[in-house]
Structure 1
């Protein structure tokens, strides 16, 4: 009987809490936007937003050791980052189960700043609102306006199939999602100590 090997890709919040105190070589990378990071982040984590990480994964991989944990709001963006770092030679990165909110709920040490809606919640609000507007306008203005609801549904289906979110990328550029200290690739990567 052949043995099957399983690669661990997820890390529970309680385990991360233990690792933070036990492992000096641990690097926690938060791949959410700078505004989301400012709202709440794991103490000691580094903010490298997913678009920067995706574009500069090779340079980031050069600085990282073997104990890397990626975090976001729910795990979706962190998983994308894990796959991208994997293609750059970091095959041991883990994704925090439940994201930053899950870590905070498990009693983890987080830093809280100015409160704002996370990007995923903003996407749900905009998408839901556009569907409702499309249906109401289709009923009372013109049936052709129901196409708006169909377009949003198609976009959400494409988003799920490709594990991307164009609406999230667009919303991340809105003024309320900007902070004064939006990291550049160089500053985001250089904040992370180089692996020994």
Structure 2
């Protein structure tokens, strides 16, 4: 297995100018909304079906939003990697890249990432349930409890029914992965 070394955004940019390939492991909706120019998209969710290394790759730099997802999945990313490919993790992900003043491409016409939509809807339903429970009838507190239970279930199992429903909404149905 190849070791994955964290590197700074500035070092990553230098390596990219020298031919390194940046691999964005975020999901399609995240990549569609905001990405580093020239990054190859390969979502971590499809690692079991295909590997991000391609013929001719010599140096790969993996990144996500904050660096946590990449660090957690480093063994999976490095698994099956040819020994002659150097691999790195962009320390701090795209957030650190932007903080370093390096450019990103933003497509404001792309929907916001699904998990942010889940946070907006879940938070709105919890507040609505609390307000209606306090002003209309106590039974509305069950709405807040139901949403809370759903969030716990999603955290424990990794399955978020609300995200699945939101993915079916018309604004999320276009193909969000530009030439990835």
TM-score normalised by structure 2 residue count = 0.69
Correspondence list, 1:1-196, <5 A: 10-22=6-18, 24=19, 26-51=20-45, 53-56=46-49, 59-60=50-51, 63=54, 67-79=59-71, 81-86=73-78, 88-90=79-81, 93-115=87-109, 116-160=111-155, 164=158, 166=160, 167-180=162-175, 182=177
Confirm or deny: 8 A CA contact 2:24 2:62 kept in the other structure: yes
Q: Secondary structure at the match of 1:179?
A: coil
Q: Secondary structure at the match of 1:150?
A: helix
Determine the C-alpha separation between the residues in 2 that align with 1:119 and 1:174: 10
- Higher mean Cα deviation, 61-70 or 41-50? 61-70
C-alpha change, 1:129 and 1:98, in structure 2 (3 Å) is farther
C-alpha change, 1:35 and 1:62, in structure 2 (3 Å) is closer
Confirm or deny: 8 A CA contact 2:22 2:38 kept in the other structure: yes
Determine the C-alpha separation between the residues in 1 that align with 2:53 and 2:9: 26
C-alpha change, 1:9 and 1:177, in structure 2 (3 Å) is farther
Determine the C-alpha separation between the residues in 2 that align with 1:13 and 1:131: 38
Q: Secondary structure at the match of 2:128?
A: helix
Q: For this pair of structures, how many residues does the alignment match?
A: 172
C-alpha change, 1:149 and 1:67, in structure 2 (3 Å) is farther
Cα distance, 1:38 vs structure 2? 2.9
Aligned-pair Cα RMSD in Å: 3.5
Deviations 1:154-195 (A, max 9, x none): 443454556x46244543443323434648xxx85xxxxxxx
TM-score normalised by structure 1 residue count = 0.65
Q: Secondary structure at the match of 2:35?
A: strand
Structure 2: gaps of 5 or more residues? none
Determine the C-alpha separation between the residues in 2 that align with 1:62 and 1:13: 21
Q: Secondary structure at the match of 2:66?
A: coil
